[in-house]
Amino acid sequence: MYKLLLQVESKSKATILGKSLRDYLVGQNFRATYKLTNIGDQLFPGGFFAVEIRWPNGQFENTPYTIPQLAPSESKLAEPQSDWGVLSRGFALFYLVDTRDNNGKDIIFYSGPNDTIPRSVSFYSILGKDPEELYQYWAMIVGAAALVILVGEKLFEMIRWIVPLIK
């Protein structure tokens, strides 16, 4: 049985006013990259796996990936690099749905040296947000800054009024 360590990195391709964002926005794309490391002691002949991304609104996407041949302790990226769309607000959960080597044998994927990834358990997630959530956040920041300025102005006026009374 082959042992492969699966590491996932994702990057949002969302932009607002030409500026890149870290947030995953509904209607915008993101890229998921899968890095595989052979943590077993035998040569991995290559194979494939499929990832299903399930969204809170019931939609899902399924994409197969090819795993290149890996010597023990060797790491490579799965192909193809894939761009996904953020389909709804909420957490998108990533599941392994099919894992086989080139000889048809099952592959055991690990998230850590001793932690296997069962097919019934999500191994990665992203949080999809509506663009309005970002706008509301920035409106709250502007409102809080304006409130601090107003309170500061009133405190300054009060201090100016109290100082002559103390003398």
Domain definitions of the chain by residue range = 2-129, 131-167
CB neighbourhood size of 163 (10 A): 9
**Residue keyed to tokens 């309005």:** 132
Inter-residue contact 29 to 128 (CB < 8 Å): no
Residue 67 scores a pLDDT above 80: yes
* Model confidence, pTM: 0.79
Mean pLDDT of 98-107: 89
Position 52 confidence tier, pLDDT thresholds 50, 70, 90: very high
How far apart CA 128 and CA 59 sit, in angstroms, is 13
Mean pLDDT of 113-118: 89
CATH topology of domain 2-129: Immunoglobulin-like (2.60.40)
Given this model, what pLDDT does residue 134 score?
A: 78
Given this model, what pLDDT does residue 155 score?
A: 92
